[in-house]
Structure 1
Amino acid sequence: MGFNTSLSGISAANADLNVTANNIANVNTVGFKESRAEFADVLNATGYGLRNNAIGSGVRLTNVAQQFSQGNIDQTGRSLDLAIEGEGFFTLDMNGTRVYSRAGNFQPDKDGYVTNPQGARLQVYAPSADGTRFDGALTDLRLLTSDSPPRPTSRLELAFTLPANAKEPTITPFDPASSNSYNHSSGGITVFDSLGVSHVQTSYFVKTANPNEWQVYNFVDGVPAGNPPGSATTLQFSDSGALLSPASGQIDLGTFTPTTGAGQLAMNLDISGATQYGEKFNQHNTGQDGYASGKLNEISISEQGVVYARYSNGVDVALGQVALTNFNNPQGLLSQGNNLWTETYASGTPRIGAPGSSDLGQIQAGSLEASTVDLTQQLVNMITAQRNFQANAQMLSTQDQITQTVINIR
């Protein structure tokens, strides 16, 4: 029986060396979790159970357990390199089979789907129609490659201060071609039609004979605007410089028909920030809500895992939110190789959620999680396993000598 005991020790030491060798081989594998060989002693039993003076019969390998500790997060600067800071796994679809991984070295395939090196597609929560919620069904993350469509302008904003000591223009009536027929003009606001072509809206300010009263004329590409077109809007200010009329601070610019073939522009000018102070004309702020078409500039991902396509026109389009999965017993997962695991009965039911929710970690974009293998510790383990192997081999040799001595007794 002693031979079998020593053989089991040699086998166990060899298994320990194999586990250590696998750890060392994966010291630079992205998202790799080191393994630990776990052993249990063996006792022979009689028909009546274990004897009080029973001697152990060796050792056996009971489990090779992966240790799901947090690895170091290394910056890469690549937008589709993702790392999980905390618990959870990336959720992937491999030809219809749900698999899980801690390795976030993703890239788009020929069809724009974001995949790992083995072709498993990253799963995300689909965005709602307005892009503000991500609670729909899981779907493959696919990067948009088409242009962002333009948005026609519907609202403009112009904030300015008119001089309180202004005099009436020397030339009447108002003529935009004659600078002496108006006091001041805005610098012009760029607006966009439904085809993304830009136009310029300009406002001209004319002081009237009445105190604290002005008229404003609006043009788009030199064409009179307003309701009706070419009509003036009267601005009235209080003796403290606040805008009194129009009370809403809104001017209806009517409709403008572009020559580009785009649809009519129906726009409204917000001048609620207008004031009348001092001796100089000042234009404080301009703005409008339209934009031209845009080219895809980059993909960015937030800590909450929301994937945005950023376009050259300043538009951000939400493509989805990365779905993370966690288990009550991650060590119960079944390793499939290639940094992938699948669920088992022992792992428990998968719990899927958004990054940063419940016990799930956050996403670090432009980063990768390094292997959890501590090379120094593994070298120490290798020496220990080697000594164990040598000791059991020596024990086997000693037992052989004792057996030979017994045989030689006459």
Structure 2
Amino acid sequence: MWISKTGVQAQDAKLQAIANNLANVNTVGFKRDRVLFEDLFYQIEREPGAQRDDNTVTPGGVQLGTGTRLVGTQKVFTTGNLQTTGQSLDIAIAGNGFLQVQRPNGDLAYTRAGQLQKNSEGLLVTSQGLPIVPEITIPANATAITIGENGMVSATVPGQAAPQEVGQLTLVSFVNPAGLLAMGDNLYQETAASGVPTEGNPGADGLGKIKQGALEGSNVQVVEEMVDMIAAQRTYEMNTKVLSAADNMMQTLAQAVR
């Protein structure tokens, strides 16, 4: 019964991850979660290769497992589909890398969501109002904004034929992006597992390029999530059937010894 209980808990955790993936299927820059399990310790009644009385060696031994447990969750950082929006401040990262933003407490956070806007001071900010790092200020009288694949931001202002450069978007990469801490609001935080960020210009040193007028969609594949959900549901049901069978066996035993 205890072994089946661990199986029920494991599948419940997997269903929760699947539900979160499906809930964010339309979230810009969202990366799906996958759940990792491992088997629990074994009860060793006879070790493989143990010596028998007749001077022979047992080929397999007796090892009884005690169930499973959740060992971790992992973000899958494959690139989502690019969706063309035509908005000049919408950007998508085609490849590796994160935008840097500054949180209200001064700490840095990282995001793949490129729904940029201008605040009242002309600074480029995210949809939550967090300023992009390094700061980029758009002139108030700008009539057009161009963001190159290399992250160079240019603005066209009245009276000047050529656009003027107003800033440079940079990206950062991590040795282990799966080790980033997901904070919600499309933000990630550096951890000891992720390693320190390495900053560079888009398109250089393995970093992705910037695509203006587009957004990166979620990398959740609905069909795959539905198949995983069906498999998890069936596994959950099988574990509950084992619980019911064990309960019936104990009931029969209890009635037999009355």
TM-score, L = length of structure 1: 0.57
| Residue 45 (structure 1) shift | 5.6
What is the SS of the residue equivalent to 1:140? Answer: coil
Identify which of 34, 37, 51 aligns with 2:35.
Answer: 37
- Could you say which residue in structure 1 is the equivalent of 2:220? 373
Question: Over residues 338-361 of structure 1, what are the superposed CA-to-partner deviations in whole Å (9 max), with x where a residue is unaligned?
Answer: 110011010011100000110101
For residues 214 and 41 of structure 2, the distance between their equivalents in structure 1, rounded to whole angstroms, comes to 49
Residue type at the aligned position of 2:67: G
Is the counterpart of residue 72 in structure 1 residue 81 in structure 2? Answer: yes
| Residue 100 (structure 1) shift | 0.4
Unaligned residue ranges in structure 1 (runs of 5+) = 124-138, 146-294
For residues 147 and 116 of structure 2, the distance between their equivalents in structure 1, rounded to whole angstroms, comes to 13
| Residue 337 (structure 1) shift | 0.4
Identity percentage of aligned residues: 38
Unaligned residue ranges in structure 2 (runs of 5+) = 49-59
Alpha-carbon spacing, 1:319–1:4, altered in 2? closer, same or farther (3 Å):
same
| Residue 44 (structure 1) shift | 4.2
Question: Over residues 225-282 of structure 1, what are the superposed CA-to-partner deviations in whole Å (9 max), with x where a residue is unaligned?
Answer: xxxxxxxxxxxxxxxxxxxxxxxxxxxxxxxxxxxxxxxxxxxxxxxxxxxxxxxxxx
Residue type at the aligned position of 1:308: S
Runs of 4+ in 1 over 4 A off after TM superposition: 49-52
Alpha-carbon spacing, 1:334–1:52, altered in 2? closer, same or farther (3 Å):
farther
| Residue 52 (structure 1) shift | 4.4
| Residue 314 (structure 1) shift | 1.2
| Residue 140 (structure 1) shift | 1.3
| Residue 385 (structure 1) shift | 0.7
Where do 1:152-231 residues align within 5 Å? none
Identify which of 139, 142, 145 aligns with 1:296.
Answer: 142
Contact 1:43 1:54 survives alignment (8 Å):
no
For residues 40 and 175 of structure 2, the distance between their equivalents in structure 1, rounded to whole angstroms, comes to 30
Is the counterpart of residue 358 in structure 1 residue 205 in structure 2? Answer: yes
What is the SS of the residue equivalent to 1:387? Answer: helix
Residue type at the aligned position of 2:147: I
Is the counterpart of residue 140 in structure 1 residue 135 in structure 2? Answer: yes
- Could you say which residue in structure 1 is the equivalent of 2:129? 119
For residues 352 and 79 of structure 1, the distance between their equivalents in structure 2, rounded to whole angstroms, comes to 24
For residues 22 and 87 of structure 2, the distance between their equivalents in structure 1, rounded to whole angstroms, comes to 27
- Could you say which residue in structure 1 is the equivalent of 2:7? 9
Identify which of 311, 315, 323 aligns with 2:162.
Answer: 315
- Could you say which residue in structure 1 is the equivalent of 2:69? 60
Question: Over residues 281-332 of structure 1, what are the superposed CA-to-partner deviations in whole Å (9 max), with x where a residue is unaligned?
Answer: xxxxxxxxxxxxxx52111100101000112331311111111000000000
Measured on the aligned residues, the alpha-carbon RMSD in Å equals 1.8
- Could you say which residue in structure 2 is the equivalent of 1:390? 237
Contact 1:94 1:119 survives alignment (8 Å):
no
| Residue 56 (structure 1) shift | 0.9
- Structure of greater Rg: 1
| Larger helix fraction of residues | 2
Contact 2:43 2:64 survives alignment (8 Å):
no
Residue type at the aligned position of 2:128: Q
Residue type at the aligned position of 2:36: E
